[in-house]
Amino acid sequence: MTMVPVLVLAAVAGLPAGEQAPIAFRDLVYEHRYSKDDLHEYTPAGGADLERWIDMVTVNVYRKATDGEGLAEVANQVLGAYRANQAVVVRTDSVPRTAHAEAEHLIVVLFPRKAFIEAAFARLRLEGGRGVSIVYSHRIYGTKAGDAMSRWLRENGPAIEKELMGMPALPVVPK
């Protein structure tokens, strides 16, 4: 299987039609597990059970977002959807537009649930003329996972944000 860096997720020679190339993030290979329309989910080897995963990378394509204003609108919609799903907003940030690039957006949330707590780090930017997000999510299972998640966030959160926001490009799935 061909491994593709997280910054390129285009059609890869040698892959069967419709199959997504694996991606790499945080020194792990994430294999394609599921796609529906413009949503694509990846988990590490051994993490094929989408009901009980620990780490996941999700790529979303927002075809209607073709400029900075459209991307800002998408970022606000994503944040609204997170809030509607009882997310606790940990942090939001935007990288201002420059002469060479449109603004980018970061959303970090927690989803506390009965059986687990999930942290999600979403970066949104324009890539290839359309809005794209890459979301790294981590789950800790158990009915009292809050303390463990707090420790995990202290130990890992800043590094995840830095790596996510430092990627020179986001994955772009085939059209």
pLDDT in tens, 33-42: 999 999 999 9
Contact present, 131 and 62 (Cβ < 8 Å) = yes
Question: What's the length of the chain?
Answer: 175
Q: Do the domain assignments include residue 138?
A: no
Cα end-to-end span (Å), the chain = 22
Q: Do the domain assignments include residue 143?
A: no
Q: What is the pLDDT of residues 9-38, one digit of tens each?
A: 333 334 444 567 888 888 899 999 999 999
Query: What is the Cα Rg of the chain in Å?
Result: 16
Residue 168 CB neighbours (<10 A)? 6
Q: Do the domain assignments include residue 13?
A: no
Number of separate domains in the chain = 1
Residue 71 CB neighbours (<10 A)? 25
Q: Do the domain assignments include residue 112?
A: no
Q: Do the domain assignments include residue 109?
A: no
Q: Do the domain assignments include residue 1?
A: no
**In Å, how far are 47, 78, 83, 150 from 90, measured between CA atoms?**
26, 14, 11, 11
Which helix (H) or strand (E) covers residue 152, if one does? helix 146-166
Q: Do the domain assignments include residue 7?
A: no
Question: 171 lies in which domain range?
Answer: 22-41+53-102+117-129+151-175
Residue 104 CB neighbours (<10 A)? 19
Q: Do the domain assignments include residue 71?
A: yes
Give me the chain's average pLDDT, please: 87
